[in-house]
Amino acid sequence: MDGNLNALTTVFTEFYYWVTVVFMFLIHVGFCMYEVGASRNRNHMHTLMKNIMIIPLVTVTFFLFGWWIYWAFPDFPFFGGLNHDAGNANLPWSETMATNLGDRITGVFWAAFLLFSWTAASIVSGAVIERIRSSALWVHAVLIGSVFWIIDAAWGWHYAGWMVKYLGYHDAYASGVIHAIAGGYALGVICVLGPRLGKFAADGSPRDIPPHNPWMLTIGIFLIYTGFWGFYAACNVPVISPEVIGGQITGTTWTATNIYLAPTSLSAITFNFLMSLSGGLMAAYLVSKGDAFWTFSGGLAGIITASAGNDLYHPIQAMLVAAVGVVIVYNLHFWVERRFKLDDAVGAVAVHGYAGVVGLIISGFVLWGAPSSPFEGYASVTPWGQTIGAVIMFFVLGFLPAFIVSKIQAALGVLRIPREVELRGLDYAEHHAYEDAKAAIIEADKAILAQH
């Protein structure tokens, strides 16, 4: 770190990303609370454990190869080979992937991306509660968290990604690269997994399976909102000079940028985060006729719909985009449920997947012609570029691999828990062990009391 300004910028950036990581941890806490709140008493511990173990499994695999994929894959395989120069610096045996005074950014930057990976895996986890085998879900968690989402990030969420260069793909706060892909992936799994027992009546009409604890669910979603602040901040570069960007920007004015190194500001995304949350909540309240579950989720879906363009939108545009998205997403969820008999237990496919896709398409129109990058020769934002991007995210990298892997798991008999276990509840054995242990210690205490 030569010079005080460089040192200050580096340490500030290091600390900035570190804080975003701490905030984003709350997303996972929120997802855990939400899933447990939505599940029935007889499945609590398994539901919780299924989500908690995503943390270590995705972390280790993201250290081993996920982070390397991000740096090596921006052109691979369609527009060039692997970028070994950038990739090698991010292999697990590289010196920069460790305690190193010559590199103070890699660890916090890695962690910021890793927390996105947990989120992607956690989104899938919610859709499949109460009937998937944990072993099957954990394979999916590694695939979405450390392989498929990070491939899409290399392609469409990297300043040199081919989708940005050739499609003008613009997805500042990850409508597509996190939410559409995770929603598409969840859809691929539940298509093969099937609904929970009793979800559909004999005549095919869906039954509501209400959350056992709506308060837990409420706190869960508010923690997700809180963590989302960190998520938004983590998608920006906090401060950088035109010289360091090295693109077309002239002059000496430093700026915050989005992930593509194009200018934005924390002020802009703060306006837009809150206005899209509000647009989503208000629209969801009306369209769901005041249903608490859908109103809260609608706030999240509103943010996700506006996220692709929230670095540039006017706050009122962010609010309206969110509101329109939520109306589409809500109706699409129930149409798909009725038409295809799919059981998306927490509305994850809708809130993340459909909202992400709708948000990308809308942003193509609202940001039509805007530069996708500060570098020369990149395509500008268009409706068709964003729509193709949405298909790649939701279907090609999300739905398709999930469907194929789930089919393999189903064929091997390792996808779904046995019917008897589903009816008794996944925690049945643990509940009995708990009751037996409780009875034994009460008897022991009574016996000791009787001696005195």
Partner 1 sequence: MSTIGYENWAVDLAEVGAIYPFQGSEVLMTVLCVVFWIGWHYIQFKRESEHLENARDIGDKSLVTKSVERY
Residues that bind partner 1 (CB under 8 A): 242, 247-253, 255, 262-264, 279, 282, 285-286, 289-290, 312-314, 316-317, 319-320, 323, 366-371, 373-374, 376, 380
For tokens 């003008």, the residue is 168
d(CA 241, CA 248): 12
Residue 21 vs 366, nearer CB to partner 1: 366
Considering only CA atoms, give the Rg of the chain. 23
d(CA 446, CA 452): 10
d(CA 244, CA 254): 10
Residue 247 vs 389, nearer CB to partner 1: 247
d(CA 252, CA 158): 24
Tokens encoding 332: 């699409």
Phi, psi of 341 (to 5 degrees): 55, 45
Tokens encoding 25: 């941890």
Helix (H) or strand (E) holding 263: strand 263-264
Residue 247 vs 356, nearer CB to partner 1: 247
Closest CA to 141 of 128, 153, 157, 130: 128
Residue 2 vs 376, nearer CB to partner 1: 376
State the DSSP code for 22: H
Residue 316 vs 429, nearer CB to partner 1: 316
Q: Which residue(s) pair with 206 in the sheet?
A: 200
Closest CA to 336 of 327, 347, 321: 347
| Inter-residue contact 326 to 283 (CB < 8 Å) | yes
Taking the complex as a whole, the smallest distance from the CB of residue 102 to partner 1 amounts, in Å, to: 30
Residue 58 vs 321, nearer CB to partner 1: 321
Residue 142 vs 319, nearer CB to partner 1: 319
Taking the complex as a whole, the smallest distance from the CB of residue 418 to partner 1 amounts, in Å, to: 38
Residue 13 vs 258, nearer CB to partner 1: 258
Tokens encoding 403: 């469907």
Taking the complex as a whole, the smallest distance from the CB of residue 390 to partner 1 amounts, in Å, to: 19
Residue 242 vs 401, nearer CB to partner 1: 242
Integer angstrom CA distances of residue 40 from 31, 424, 427: 16, 11, 10
- Return the biggest CA–CA distance within the chain: 88
Taking the complex as a whole, the smallest distance from the CB of residue 245 to partner 1 amounts, in Å, to: 9
Taking the complex as a whole, the smallest distance from the CB of residue 12 to partner 1 amounts, in Å, to: 19
Taking the complex as a whole, the smallest distance from the CB of residue 324 to partner 1 amounts, in Å, to: 11
Residue 324 vs 345, nearer CB to partner 1: 324
Scanning 128-213, the segments in alpha helix (DSSP H) are: 134-143, 149-156, 162-167, 181-193
Taking the complex as a whole, the smallest distance from the CB of residue 314 to partner 1 amounts, in Å, to: 4
Taking the complex as a whole, the smallest distance from the CB of residue 200 to partner 1 amounts, in Å, to: 28
Taking the complex as a whole, the smallest distance from the CB of residue 366 to partner 1 amounts, in Å, to: 5
**∠ CA 392-72-74, rounded to 5°:** 40
Tokens encoding 63: 């250290």
Taking the complex as a whole, the smallest distance from the CB of residue 323 to partner 1 amounts, in Å, to: 7
- Distance in Å from the first CA to the final CA of the chain: 71
Q: Is 398 exposed, middle or buried (0-12, 13-18, 19+ CB in 10 A)?
A: buried
| Inter-residue contact 268 to 253 (CB < 8 Å) | no
Tokens encoding 346: 């927490």
Taking the complex as a whole, the smallest distance from the CB of residue 6 to partner 1 amounts, in Å, to: 20
Residue 125 vs 258, nearer CB to partner 1: 258
Closest CA to 341 of 211, 140, 203, 136: 203
